[in-house]
Structure 1
Amino acid sequence: MKIETLGRFKHVTLEPGELYASKEPVTISTLLGSCVAACLYDPVHRVVGMNHFMLSNRRYSRDLPHYRTDAGRYGIQAMELLINEMMHLGAERKKLQAKVFGGATILQRTGAIGNFFCVGEVNCRFIHDFLEDERIPIQAQELGGDKGRVIHFSNGDFAVYLRKVERSSSERLAQRDRNCWLKAIEIQELTLPSQDIWL
């Protein structure tokens, strides 16, 4: 996890397997391929969080129950750890809302073969089922496809800024990411209360 600060604002970049939650001004970012990131927020208590869960296997049987797959095991852990961390910061589970991203097939395009799903498809199916079971409404989503995504989640207006990953130089992508972060900070300055609230 990489954390940068600019004044009272933080920019947190997650790697696969990490999560972060906050009730302070923050932008949380990550790069997704077949992994999924759930951006959760409690708009009343202004607590936000994001996870990035990853899998190792390429395909799973269509008939295999979720809890028997890595998606189920790692996904459930990633979701429960994030929700618990947010509740520790003052969020209420019944007020949580979600925006979900990732689950792309970015390597060899095999899609669903016979009785099997590819990892990205399993991740997409898992996150939908988990949020439906937990009665956490999905307010925005972009799942599947064949391109990676960089996402930035801001607790100023709970917006998620998304960029699909094309073949470009890493230096240019890094500058675009920084510009997105700075724009999120400007929006937060307009939407968040004065600093003395964040003690």
Structure 2
Amino acid sequence: MRIETKGRFQHVTLEPGEFYASPRPVTISTLLGSCVSACLYDPVEKIVGMNHFLLSNRRYARNLPTIASEAGRYGVHAMELLINEMLHLGARRKRLMAKVFGGATILKQTGNIGNFFCVGEVNCRFIEEFLAEERIPIVAKELGGEKGRVIHFSNGDFTVYVRKVERGSSERLALRDRNCWLKSIEVQELALPSQELWLDEGEYG
């Protein structure tokens, strides 16, 4: 995360896996490919927040369950971290509204990317299903497509400015997202032995 300050104004730039919330004058920016960002705000308290996440799962399919799945656990965690931080700052859950972006398919389907091809589509479905279940209305969205996006979310009038990413940059962005995906799966798999041990102890304890 990079935070720049000019007077009482802040500009915050998020990387994958990060989130930020604030009641102060701020613009939150990020670069999205297959990842998604939820831009949440409480219009009464004027508290805003944004996250940037990518669902990670060893196997993807277009009909992959989202919320109730290993992939969904990561998305739910990313959303709850943001929501809880906003509530801590004084937002009310029943007043939260959302604008959602990202989930592009920015690589053509080829053998060398395998399961990663569907990740953007799964991310899009997850964020819409999660917000519907939490009864947080989506007042604006731009999901899917074939190009990455740079988004800027501003406190004040809660506007989100969107700029599409050109093809050459999209290919580099796709590589970044895929590396994030592989890294997150590696972390999950390293945690599996301890999880299995815990289950065994529970069964025989």
Task: Tell me the TM-score normalised to structure 2 length.
Answer: 0.75
**Is this contact kept in 2: 1:100–1:140, CA < 8 A?**
yes
Q: Helix, strand or coil: the match of 1:66?
A: coil
| Aligned-partner Cα distance in 2 for 1:63–1:141 | 22
| Aligned-partner Cα distance in 1 for 2:145–2:66 | 23
The alpha-carbon deviation at position 63 of structure 1 amounts to: 5.0
Q: Helix, strand or coil: the match of 2:31?
A: strand
Alignment-derived partner of residue 49 in structure 1: 49
Q: Which has the higher helix share?
A: 2
Q: Helix, strand or coil: the match of 1:101?
A: strand
**Is this contact kept in 2: 1:60–1:69, CA < 8 A?**
no
**Quick one: which amino acid aligns to residue 43 of structure 1?**
P
Alignment-derived partner of residue 157 in structure 2: 157
**Quick one: which amino acid aligns to residue 69 of structure 2?**
R
What does residue range 166-185 of structure 1 map to in structure 2 within 5 Å? 166-167=166-167
Query: How many aligned residue pairs are there?
Result: 163
Alignment-derived partner of residue 68 in structure 1: 69
- Cα 1:164–1:54 shift into 2, 3 Å: same
Identity value in percent: 75
| Aligned-partner Cα distance in 2 for 1:155–1:78 | 21
Which of 1 and 2 has greater Rg? 2
| Aligned-partner Cα distance in 2 for 1:27–1:66 | 29
Alignment-derived partner of residue 90 in structure 1: 90
| Aligned-partner Cα distance in 1 for 2:166–2:152 | 17
Alignment-derived partner of residue 38 in structure 2: 38
What does residue range 112-191 of structure 1 map to in structure 2 within 5 Å? 118-167=118-167
**Is this contact kept in 1: 2:100–2:138, CA < 8 A?**
yes
User: Does residue 1:99 correspond to 2:99, yes or no?
Assistant: yes
The alpha-carbon deviation at position 60 of structure 1 amounts to: 2.9
| Aligned-partner Cα distance in 2 for 1:60–1:16 | 22
- Cα 1:117–1:109 shift into 2, 3 Å: closer
- Cα 1:147–1:117 shift into 2, 3 Å: closer
| Aligned-partner Cα distance in 2 for 1:83–1:25 | 19
Runs of 5+ unmatched residues, structure 1: 111-115, 170-199
Alignment-derived partner of residue 15 in structure 1: 15
| Aligned-partner Cα distance in 2 for 1:61–1:158 | 32
Alignment-derived partner of residue 175 in structure 1: none
| Aligned-partner Cα distance in 2 for 1:54–1:150 | 16
CA shift digits 1:59-79 (9 cap, x unpaired): 236154532141x11110010
- Cα 1:54–1:63 shift into 2, 3 Å: closer
Q: Helix, strand or coil: the match of 2:61?
A: strand
Task: Tell me the TM-score normalised to structure 1 length.
Answer: 0.77
Runs of 5+ unmatched residues, structure 2: 111-115, 170-205
Q: Helix, strand or coil: the match of 1:118?
A: helix
Structure 1 runs of 4+ aligned residues shifted over 6 Å read none
**Is this contact kept in 1: 2:51–2:78, CA < 8 A?**
yes
